[in-house]
Structure 1
Amino acid sequence: MLKTVLATGTACAAICSVFVVAPAHAQAADATTPAEATEAAEADAPAGEIIVTGSTRAERRFDVSYAINTITPTDVEKIAPVNFADLIGQLPGFQTEITGGEVQNIYRIRGLPNDGGFVSFQQNGLPLFHENDGVFFRGDAILKQDLMTERVEVVRGGPAPVYASYSGAIINAITVTGDETPRGKAQLTLGDTGLYRLDAMQAGPLGKDTYYAVGGFLRYHDGYRDNGFPNDKGGQIRANIKHDFDNGSIRLNLNYVNDHNVFYLPIPISDPTDPSVSLDPYIDYFTGTMNSPALRNVNLKWRDGAGQIQSRTSDLSDGRHMQMVNFGAQYDGDFDGWLVTARAGYTQGKLDFTAFYSTTNPADATTFANGYLARSTAAFGNVASFGYVLSGTNTAYDPYAASGLVMQGQYRDIHSKFYSAQGDLSVARRFDTAIGSHDIKLGLYASAYGEDSNTIYQNYLIEVAGKPRTLDLVAYGAGGIELGRVTDNGVLNYAATLNKGDSDATMFALYANDTWEVVPGLRIDAGVRHERYSYKGWAALTEQVNLGDGTTLADDTTRGFTGVIVNRELSPSITNWTVGANYDFSSSIGIYGRASHLETPPNVQTSMTVNPTILTTKADQFEAGLKFASGRSYLYVTGFYTNFDPLNASFLAYNPLTGRNDVPVPFIGEAQVKGIEFDGAWQVTPWFSLNGALTVSDPKYKNFKSSTGADPEQVEGNQIVRQPKVYGNIRPSFDFTTAGTDVSIYGRYTYMGKRYVDLYNNTALPSYGTVGAGISLRRDSWALQVVGDNLFNAHGLTEGNTRTDILDGQGSSTAIYGRPIFGRNFRLVISKSW
């Protein structure tokens, strides 16, 4: 096992503000020299940016046969995203949910039914962790935007399955590298949500043909919601050294992350006993959260494999504490037309994650208490009445002096160590033939990676309020004598879920791509990728136990380790392919089409799971597009169709008796999505422009089957859970110069269509739209920006209560429990460049 604890340290200066939506081109972050990219850009800049993600060598966006965007620092400034998911969500085909906080948000591409597992996060063409989803983290937790990001290239569909594993899309961050001209920037961001952030970057020459770049950020943030403790604290540093040779270059790089990010989860917004009654007076729609200082000293209890009761404390304010270091190297060389690229990286890290999850709806306080009458009577004797007290005390709490409701929540404590070594070697060569030219690329990618997990979930009883206090439910006998407590210091169920395991994997992939330019303007390309995996892991078996405390019911249905482990080995293999064609009628008008086949094997976590669902999923994707580019204006229109088969929509339903999600509801079927994307920019005048993106689609469930009592007919043809039919944005910008100052005034309207929380489409998440605006002033080397989000406090929900409502909803036509969007907020950004 290569997993060792990452040494801690402090992370330094420079933040993430570097992306933009404009015409782009895609190459799969693969071998192309900087000189080639520069020459191509200068040759035809009006037709679009140069890209290096998804193709053999650097190309114009306009010339490729797939959908790609480039996001630059200028674009990031005008989009003014609240987090990375907000930025990516402005692209067509990407439906993101930004309400979880700074990281671990939702990224969905063209209706693929997953919360992020089909989006590959890369840095300079190489992932930092091989799989897209680790144990409670994904790419945006270890690859954070800051001033060291020169641009982000985003491939939607197209050749993504050939150039990355598990990928229907690639998000590739290209980092800043130094050159002969020294340059730097420092940036201070202040927000009315208690945000303080310092970013810095410096780059330049280090010696003859040798250059450096270093930067990062430090950040403290109270948060968009009031936890009673800071939401985000920590930072990142990235650095690289590059040396140029006569025919290429070599670059060494370092990433270090040490960051805490608290996770926001759904909250109740209406009284389930009367959905017309808002709970806003008790838990504010925009600032309320179930996170609470009451959960900063949680006592976790479970039984180990030797039969001994164990305990440890946990602090909710630690949030998602990511510590990660990555070392990498990249070599690019041109040997008489043979382009050789070699990349390698090693990542090691640990994640300590605490969060307070939603479970069941709030309940009438009396009804909830009476639900424990039978168990309390059996445990304590004749129960005459129940009462509530503040947990661990005898201080009475009257729910009917407030909402009349009480509710449950689940505290999750997860610890994981992970490592990932990855390398990619490719060779490309262009050959002229009697019928056009072929640009062929062959590559080998390999990775050795793994992670472990130690997980405890336990349930709490809380009041319906922001920053809720924990409660105890007390059983009284005749004369008001306390007989016992349903809860113990607020705990309803100790160790309702208990897991421990370890996993290791090796994999290799062979890939090839040929771009055939038949005649000028007509290009056909095809690629294939074959992957083989080997997994080894173990998982510790558990059983239901009673810890033996007769004064409470909280330990009656606790999970305990049996001392037995289950070993598992898997050897999946998959083959992906793509074929596309592009025809340009002129330098500004063209068409393209593509078909791709994506297979995703089960991830390495299945080898450290007691009863995993082992399933290789497949998606066939088809797209056809029209493209137009003229000066600074462009329009890309792409029609797409995806068939995802098999789709495993099975889940474990929440069981209030055990406090666990342990009731299996199997659902296997297909997802079919057809739609059209619009991606455009219109330079109306030299001082006024419009950018925008729109996706219209029809995401459906098809051909579902269930082996239990759930009715698959009620799913047939329904809209895929949490996916809208229409979403998009429009962004006007006024740019002019007055009195020696460059002024930019810009706005953003973002629309999210109606979605559903459940497979049966019983409970809707209503559509919503938000408005943001900003102004930037630049004079000499100084810049100042003021930006505001959701200026009119629009209401909207991005998810329901996924622990309990996934099958048939929340018993209401619109969601009464969900994760609201953030309310109105403002940020001030001051920067100095040199």
Structure 2
Amino acid sequence: MMRKQFQALLLASATMFAGSAAHAQDEVAADAPTAAPADEEIVVTAVARGQNRLTTSVTVSSLNSDDIAKAAPRSVAEIFRNLPGIRSESSGGEGNANISVRGLPVASGGAKFLQLQEDGLPVLEFGDITFGNADIFLRSDFNVGRVESVRGGSASTFASNAPGGVINMISKTGETEGGAVQATAGIDYRDYRLDFDYGGRISDTLRYHVGGFYRQGEGPRKAGYDANKGGQIKANVTKEFDGGYVRLYGKYLNDKAIGYLPNPVLVTGTNADPKYQDLPGFSINGDTLHSRYFRDNVTLDGNNNPVTRDIRDGQHPVVYALGLESQFELGDGWNVTERFRYSDISGGFTSPFPASVDTGSAIATALGGAGSTLTYANGPKAGQAFAGSNYLAQIVLFDVKLNSLNNITNDIRVSRDFETGMGKVTLTGGFYKSRQTINTDWLWTAHLFEVAGGGNAALVDLTNAAGTALTQGGTYGYGATFFGNCCRRSYDVDYDTNAPFASLSLATDRLTLDGSLRYDFGSAKGTIAGADLGGGRVGIISRDMNGNGTISVPETQVSVVPAATAPVDYSYDYLSYSFGVNYRLADDVAVFARYSRGARANADRLLFGPAVNTTTGKLTDTGAAVDFVKQLEGGVKYRNGGVTLNATAFYAKTEEQNFEATTQTFFSRNYRAYGLELEGGYRIGAFSITAGGTYTDAKIVSDVLNPGAVGKRPRRQAKFLYQVTPQYDVGIVSIGANVIGTSSSFAQDSNLLKLPAYTQVNAFLTVKPTDRMQVSINANNLFDVKGFTEAEEGAIPANGIVRARSINGRTVSASVRFDF
């Protein structure tokens, strides 16, 4: 009931605000100028207080709403690729991207060392929750005023669990009256979207902003059904008063978005010089192992009751969030900033993962023995023979119900400036508190599935030479049979995070010195269940899943959650610190240096492994709870007229303990990385260009579980990443391109199979026939390149089939926008 009331409140607010708009001006982003003079840019993310970019000793970049539109992004991960130093593997669809910064590792998935925020608070406390990565619950629309990123530096002490950095999506707040509505349609793919926003003043001291989107369509790959369907609405109201303001805001997100996992691709040549090719009838960047004929998952739920779940739900975030932000003066120069948010988060993650891909005859023989036969289980060829030369996938369907990822967060800080004989001293102190719930059920099943494009693949049945059916409607087992029947799991764990923090800075005319400390202490309490815990827990039973009164072979492989649970009950603590110096050599140039030690508390990926005692719930190794990151950075910042340049050298040492669901692999190792990060821009007349590049040399320096990896480059870590955006704007017409590129990397830590270098070009053309109307065409991946972000195989297998994720192929969209 509360959720329905909340949704109705937001929708009513949107209607009221939109209906009250009788006049407006062109839209600009709020809170901070999107095109401020270079020496007036203010940093608000992961710092004690808003600071001038040239006087702060942190590395920061920002993108305004116009920058985002030029990138033609199909997900937030594609926006993040345009931030220097950020490695964003944007091949998973709307969410589930692997994101890291400056050579810090992605040993499993998500954004472990990098925190994703909305308006200064984390989307989730941990960015790499298994099947609940933070970007799944984040959407970009007209509500976003700008995206700001801080790499390294003070992120260690002004955010918990974010030693690598913070990416903050900052909302508009109605400072400039106006709004827009935009309709977008795919030209060469089926997708339709409507965006809107409006903001302005209700009175001299009261302003608001409301916006959102709704979309529906197949998505950038051919799935055979509407794979993306849903939307978001956000609203905020700000009351200003002498010395501060109070802001209330809300968000409702309910969006079904297809999630792309690795797909099969044929690889020839050598590991050092591989040639990636499409399998017959299946495009690696245009197709997916989803289909109109693979829609239902018959399984048992977390209470072991039969249930049919809809595979088409894909990545399905459902978020109800309410928040408050306030700044005010206490008197005598003291200022308070308070941020609070409660998020009710649930949903699911469902997507097929290929445990193996080979010809039908090879798989039939391997699973059923010589003489086994294959037939189509459904689709237009149901009952007909499946050719042995055709390709077949052994699918483990990752079906996870996200019962609750609820998050409650509060950040309060007090600061004051003191004028001294040496300069201005700023003292800041605060306390951060969050509670993150992770309550999920893993409901995986196993299937035989045709490898065919266009969303037309069918399920396939297997019969052995004796005539015994080894499948049931294409289902091989009602569990992760191709993974050894692992992973029928249920979590219910709460993570408490507490962190007092303080900073002290001294600013003179030229010199700024600052230091900050943060002490995190927390706990994990709850229960987990699953046969993977051992101890006699039974995970496989026989059960009549289709209710026909007989037990088929697949029905002897039914995974259940054991009744016996194991406790989780441990605590941890750690200290983070950061010290920086910035010296302004002239009005337009500054140099800086910073050393930081931060850490990340491990969450659910620590469970079901050797680090947690299944009897007591305590840690078997107290050091397993926390991974430390130490970073040294220094560089130069230059601003003069139409020219900007940032250059930052960095060095990082990282501890990593992790678990990867797809390979059932634990990691316990240390890394080091060093490199150079460049960012710049130039404008002359109607022409402008922005560019960034990051060189990284990273290696594994120790590995407890796999000593053979020592000295290797971490998997998927390219030495060079870059982005370039040239643009020519004459007012009525604007044309340009957004170019994203990467050098080659290795698929796995063995450093054998290479993922080739690639360059992706996104193009945009905008025409403004009137002041309030804009027509635009955006092309994402204009030249339809294949760009591989990951691969499961570390070397080319005997059959040449590698399971890999590529960026999406070319998609072109057209938009019509009206400003009012």
TM-score (normalised: structure 2): 0.87
Determine which of 647, 652, 657 is the counterpart of 1:637: 647
Q: Counterparts in 2 of 1:375-524, with a 5 A limit?
A: 385-391=371-377, 395-400=383-388, 403-416=389-402, 417-466=404-453, 467=455, 468-477=457-466, 482=467, 484-496=468-480, 497-517=487-507, 519-524=508-513
Contact 1:196 1:220 in 2 (8 A): yes
CA deviation after TM superposition for structure 1 residue 279, in Å:
4.3
Contact 1:6 1:324 in 2 (8 A): no
Q: Counterparts in 2 of 1:690-729, with a 5 A limit?
A: 690-706=689-705, 712-713=707-708, 715-729=709-723
The one-letter amino acid paired with 1:597 is R
Instruction: Tell me the SS of whatever aligns to 1:399.
Output: coil
Q: Which residue number in structure 1 is paired with residue 41 of structure 2?
A: 49
Contact 1:399 1:406 in 2 (8 A): no
Q: Which residue number in structure 2 is paired with residue 688 of structure 1?
A: 687
CA 1:810–1:522 in 2, change beyond 3 Å: closer, same or farther? same
Q: Which residue number in structure 1 is paired with residue 24 of structure 2?
A: none
Contact 2:377 2:459 in 1 (8 A): yes
CA deviation after TM superposition for structure 1 residue 747, in Å:
1.3
The one-letter amino acid paired with 1:799 is E
Q: Which residue number in structure 2 is paired with residue 61 of structure 1?
A: 53
Instruction: Tell me the SS of whatever aligns to 2:806.
Output: coil
Give CA deviations for 1:272-294 in whole Å, capped at 9, x if unaligned: 99997944322123321111122
CA 1:186–1:277 in 2, change beyond 3 Å: closer, same or farther? closer
CA deviation after TM superposition for structure 1 residue 595, in Å:
0.8
Give CA deviations for 1:92-133 in whole Å, capped at 9, x if unaligned: 110111111112222111111133122212222122433323
CA deviation after TM superposition for structure 1 residue 264, in Å:
0.9
Give CA deviations for 1:499-530 in whole Å, capped at 9, x if unaligned: 1121123221101111112x321111111111
Instruction: Tell me the SS of whatever aligns to 1:317.
Output: helix
Q: Which residue number in structure 2 is paired with residue 199 of structure 1?
A: 195
Instruction: Tell me the SS of whatever aligns to 2:67.
Output: helix
Instruction: Tell me the SS of whatever aligns to 2:78.
Output: helix
Q: Which residue number in structure 2 is paired with residue 657 of structure 1?
A: none
Contact 1:491 1:554 in 2 (8 A): yes
Contact 1:222 1:229 in 2 (8 A): yes
Matched, 1:525 2:525: no
Contact 1:460 1:490 in 2 (8 A): yes
Contact 1:688 1:732 in 2 (8 A): yes
CA 1:300–1:604 in 2, change beyond 3 Å: closer, same or farther? closer
Q: Counterparts in 2 of 1:702-781, with a 5 A limit?
A: 702-706=701-705, 712-713=707-708, 715-737=709-731, 742-778=732-768, 779-781=770-772
CA deviation after TM superposition for structure 1 residue 557, in Å:
4.4
Instruction: Tell me the SS of whatever aligns to 1:371.
Output: helix
Write the distance in 2 (CA, Å) between the matches of 1:157 and 1:5. 38
The one-letter amino acid paired with 2:182 is Q
Contact 2:302 2:490 in 1 (8 A): no
CA 1:409–1:94 in 2, change beyond 3 Å: closer, same or farther? same
Determine which of 612, 616, 631 is the counterpart of 2:626: 616
Write the distance in 2 (CA, Å) between the matches of 1:457 and 1:611. 25
Give CA deviations for 1:36-91 in whole Å, capped at 9, x if unaligned: x78xx99x823252221132322221221111012111211222222211111111
Contact 2:302 2:442 in 1 (8 A): no
CA deviation after TM superposition for structure 1 residue 765, in Å:
0.8
Q: Which residue number in structure 1 is paired with residue 19 of structure 2?
A: none
CA 1:277–1:56 in 2, change beyond 3 Å: closer, same or farther? closer
Write the distance in 1 (CA, Å) between the matches of 2:77 and 2:699. 24
The one-letter amino acid paired with 2:744 is K
Write the distance in 1 (CA, Å) between the matches of 2:165 and 2:510. 26
Q: Which residue number in structure 2 is paired with residue 223 of structure 1?
A: 219
Contact 2:488 2:530 in 1 (8 A): no
The one-letter amino acid paired with 2:127 is N
Write the distance in 2 (CA, Å) between the matches of 1:148 and 1:667. 39
Give CA deviations for 1:605-631 in whole Å, capped at 9, x if unaligned: 656889759441111011111111111
CA deviation after TM superposition for structure 1 residue 397, in Å:
2.1
CA 1:652–1:822 in 2, change beyond 3 Å: closer, same or farther? closer
Contact 1:763 1:815 in 2 (8 A): no
Contact 1:765 1:815 in 2 (8 A): no
Q: Which residue number in structure 2 is paired with residue 244 of structure 1?
A: 240
CA 1:228–1:420 in 2, change beyond 3 Å: closer, same or farther? same
The one-letter amino acid paired with 2:815 is V
CA RMSD of aligned residues (A): 2.9
Write the distance in 2 (CA, Å) between the matches of 1:448 and 1:748. 39
Give CA deviations for 1:710-765 in whole Å, capped at 9, x if unaligned: 5x23x22211111101110211111224xxxx321111222111111111111111
Q: Which residue number in structure 2 is paired with residue 30 of structure 1?
A: none
Asked which structure has the greater RCO (Cα within 8 Å, sep 6+), the reply is: 2
The one-letter amino acid paired with 2:439 is D
Contact 2:302 2:443 in 1 (8 A): no
Write the distance in 1 (CA, Å) between the matches of 2:785 and 2:585. 44
The one-letter amino acid paired with 1:521 is R
Matched, 1:297 2:315: no
Contact 1:763 1:811 in 2 (8 A): no
CA deviation after TM superposition for structure 1 residue 650, in Å:
6.0
CA deviation after TM superposition for structure 1 residue 666, in Å:
5.0
Write the distance in 2 (CA, Å) between the matches of 1:545 and 1:744. 61
Contact 1:189 1:829 in 2 (8 A): yes
CA 1:785–1:814 in 2, change beyond 3 Å: closer, same or farther? farther
The one-letter amino acid paired with 2:47 is S
CA 1:8–1:488 in 2, change beyond 3 Å: closer, same or farther? farther
CA deviation after TM superposition for structure 1 residue 815, in Å:
7.7
Q: Which residue number in structure 1 is paired with residue 327 of structure 2?
A: 332
Q: Counterparts in 2 of 1:285-364, with a 5 A limit?
A: 285-301=284-300, 310-334=305-329, 335-360=331-356, 362-364=357-359
Q: Which residue number in structure 2 is paired with residue 158 of structure 1?
A: 153
Consecutive unaligned residues of structure 2, counting only runs of 5 or more, are 16-29, 481-486, 532-537, 545-549, 613-618
Q: Counterparts in 2 of 1:527-546, with a 5 A limit?
A: 527-542=516-531, 543-546=538-541
Determine which of 794, 805, 814 is the counterpart of 2:785: 794
Q: Which residue number in structure 2 is paired with residue 648 of structure 1?
A: 657
Q: Which residue number in structure 2 is paired with residue 817 of structure 1?
A: 803
The one-letter amino acid paired with 2:236 is N
Q: Which residue number in structure 2 is paired with residue 22 of structure 1?
A: none
Q: Which residue number in structure 1 is paired with residue 142 of structure 2?
A: 147
Instruction: Tell me the SS of whatever aligns to 2:54.
Output: helix
Say how many residue pairs are matched: 761
Write the distance in 1 (CA, Å) between the matches of 2:443 and 2:610. 15
Instruction: Tell me the SS of whatever aligns to 1:785.
Output: strand
Write the distance in 2 (CA, Å) between the matches of 1:6 and 1:673. 49
TM-score (normalised: structure 1): 0.86
CA 1:680–1:150 in 2, change beyond 3 Å: closer, same or farther? same
Write the distance in 2 (CA, Å) between the matches of 1:648 and 1:4. 39
Contact 1:399 1:463 in 2 (8 A): no
Write the distance in 2 (CA, Å) between the matches of 1:649 and 1:130. 17
Write the distance in 2 (CA, Å) between the matches of 1:79 and 1:310. 46
Matched, 1:171 2:161: no
Give CA deviations for 1:354-407 in whole Å, capped at 9, x if unaligned: 1111222x2233332222356xxxxxxxxx72111112797232324xx44322
CA deviation after TM superposition for structure 1 residue 226, in Å:
0.8
Q: Which residue number in structure 1 is paired with residue 78 of structure 2?
A: 86
The one-letter amino acid paired with 2:282 is I
CA 1:5–1:164 in 2, change beyond 3 Å: closer, same or farther? same
Contact 1:649 1:669 in 2 (8 A): no
The one-letter amino acid paired with 2:713 is Q
Q: Say which is worse superposed, 249-258 or 774-783, in terms of deviation.
A: 774-783
CA deviation after TM superposition for structure 1 residue 215, in Å:
1.0
